[in-house]
Chains A and B, each alone.
Chain A
Amino acid sequence: MDVLVCVKRVPETGARILLTADGREIDTSYLGFTISPHEECAVEEALRLVEAHGGSTTVLTLGPAAAAEQLRNALAMGIGAGILLETDGEEFDPAATAAAIVDVVRERGFDLLLFGNEAADSGDYQVPVRVAATLGLPCVTGIKGIEIEGGLAVARREAAGGWEVFDVPLPAVISVKEGINLPRFPSLPGRLRAKKAELETHAPQQQAPGLEKVRLVVPVEEPNTVEILGNGPEAAPRVVEVLRELGVVS
């Protein structure tokens, strides 16, 4: 089976988020970049499915030229080929992102298109559904288990502590959540191969956004006073007193 996995370059935010002077972006001058944990798991899942069933793996991203770094990281883990939809750095909204992906993957005959459940930064929850609908493919999101049985992907989603199971006919679009697997680390030969790999590059067209960002705001943290109940095991009686005041023990 031929599997495409889509990822998004996002900054590695620390304990505090700083914005650029115009308030439209995160100030990334001192930050590294990564992809969301959900997407790391999507990359791993693509590798495992193809190791088990044969076929090819391709990673795709939409982002600035520097997003080649995230493609190469996926290649270093073992993904076969990389596609960069290169933007000028301006964010695409979910509809524009989906349209750009569809333009490039339409005639390629992928059996499975994997995404993370939501991007770590914008958290829009829509790109996989929009891609699937435009391609006329079935789609299921938030998946934490995939097995291929014949022409079906048996996909499991957590629901109220149990599981709901979907039998999805292939080809299909599936978005996954962290926890579906534990991603591997890149190997040294993988890194060397990734460094030299040719990336396929396209320049997608931006469209007028339907969800139009005005600015970003760091939420004001309410002032907080912590009451230190004590040090070490001697604090136990005071803790139980507080638990009683809160009504969590009778």
Chain B
Amino acid sequence: MILVLVEPGELSLEALTFARGLGGPVEAVGFNEVPDGLGAYGVSRVHVVGLAEYAPGAWAQSIVALVRELAPEAVVAAGSDRGQEVLAHVAVRLDAPMAANCVAAQPGEPWLVTRQRWGGSLLEEARLHGLVKLLTVAPHGVVAEPAAQGAEAAVVEVAPDLNDDDFRVMVSRREEPAAGTVQLGDARVVVGGGRGVGSAEGFAALEELAALLGGAVGGSRVVTNLGWRPHSDQIGQTGARIAPDLYIACGVSGAIQHMVGCKSAKRILAINKDPQAPIVARADYAVIGDLAEILPALVAELKRT
């Protein structure tokens, strides 16, 4: 049996799809908010732990208790902030190795795994040892697909033994995002800017285009390092990984560290003055020319039609 840590969102559905491909039955463990419809992804049983707030140690200890009770062959989590963090805590509690950001795995003894390095611009083939195999799944490294034959998943409430130490680190408060903002990671359309935008003010045209398309604005590392955009807008290896239907890359050269952040976009439209820029060769569509002329023309055309 493969036990999968599920959180709300697409990445956990990718992790379930990955886990199903390993052969055995799949069960899930979730905390606080457990997404509906897991049965469609091949989950036979969902173990629900009712904890009021995120505490990495408590989540990990709950998973360790389930591992001891259910003896799964492997525990799989999404390569999200929480997935990586919680599975690392599980690893140290079980004294087991962990393979982060896997894209493929072949059970056996040891397991053979293929995992991403350098944000996905390089792959590593490795042997994963340990009594229970611990893997996280590279974000967007697998396409989420429902099982051929889904069924209703049984829900089991569990209350593992936890002590004060498990809650030493816990979310003590949250600050919610401003209402109505479109998150980069969830946006269907992302308009991204690079050095070619020229200035912080230059992003006004990108904002306008994004607003017309119901999308979000992002930028390359150059742009966030220059302070033209906040770091939270960065697309790339040290920023956000995006997977929109369309990524419009404006004045972005297409460095390897940027491409690993946007390669999961279904389509890329590059607007660039240099037809030789690496982004152009990797895009589906390109417009060659001056951003300062093209963006206003595009906005006008969208408003007109």
Interface residues in chain A, defined as those with a beta carbon under 8 Å from any beta carbon in chain B: 13-17, 26, 36-38, 93-95, 118, 120-126, 129-130, 133-134, 138-142, 144, 157-169, 177-179, 182, 209-219, 224, 226-237, 239-240, 242-243, 246-249
Contact = CB atoms under 8 A, between A and B. Distances in A.
Interface string B89-101: 1011100111111
Contacts, number: 243
A246 B245 contact: yes
A123 B118 contact: yes
Given A125-B100, A141-B81, A178 B238 contact: yes
Contacts of B51: none
A13 B121 contact: yes
Interface in B194-238: 212-213, 221, 224-225, 227, 230-232, 234, 237-238
A246 B265 CA distance: 13
Contacts of A36: 238
18 contacts: A17-B118, A125-B136, A126-B100, A159-B174, A160-B177, A161-B177, A178-B231, A213-B124, A214-B127, A217-B125, A218-B123, A219-B123, A226-B282, A235-B287, A246-B267, A248-B189, A249-B213, A249-B302
A210 B128 contact: yes
A243 B289 CA distance: 19
B67 interface: no
A160 B183 CA distance: 7
A212 B129 contact: yes
Given A130-B91, A227-B286, A236 B117 contact: no
A219 B122 contact: yes
Given A15-B255, A144-B231, A210-B130, A126 B98 contact: yes
Interface string B124-163: 1111111000001000000000000000000000000000
Interface in B275-305: 275, 278, 280-290, 293-294, 296-298, 300-302, 305
B221 A166 contact: no
Contacts of A246: 245-246, 267
A178 B239 contact: yes
B235 to A, nearest CB: 13
Contacts of A235: 287, 289, 294, 297
B234 A179 contact: yes
B175 to A, nearest CB: 4
A184 to B, nearest CB: 13
A86 B305 CA distance: 65
Given A162-B174, A226-B283, A17 B88 contact: no
A58 to B, nearest CB: 24
Contacts of A230: 287-288
Judged by DSSP, the binding face of A is mixed
A219 B121 contact: yes
Given A210-B129, A246-B267, A248-B246, A233 B169 contact: no
Nearest to A214: B125
Of A130, A226, A228, A240, the most chain B CB neighbours within 10 A belong to A226
Contacts of A167: 172
A140 B56 contact: yes
A177 B136 CA distance: 19
Given A159-B174, A237-B301, A134 B116 contact: no
Contacts of A15: 255-256, 278
A26 B237 contact: no
Judged by DSSP, the binding face of B is mixed
Nearest to B119: A123
A126 B236 CA distance: 21
Contacts of A121: 117-118
A162 B177 contact: yes
A239 B287 contact: yes
Contacts of B125: 213-217
A165 B174 contact: yes
Given A129-B85, A166-B170, A228-B288, 14 more contacts: A94-B98, A118-B84, A129-B88, A129-B89, A159-B174, A166-B171, A179-B234, A179-B239, A209-B97, A232-B294, A234-B297, A235-B289, A239-B269, A243-B246
B176 A162 contact: yes
Nearest to A144: B231
Contacts of A213: 124-126
B68 interface: no
A120 B118 contact: yes
A45 to B, nearest CB: 14
Contacts of A158: 232
Nearest to B232: A158
A178 B230 CA distance: 11
B177 A210 contact: no
A141 B88 CA distance: 11
A139 B60 CA distance: 13
A232 B281 contact: no
Given A219-B121, A249-B213, A240 B175 contact: no
Given A138-B168, A236-B300, A227 B284 contact: yes
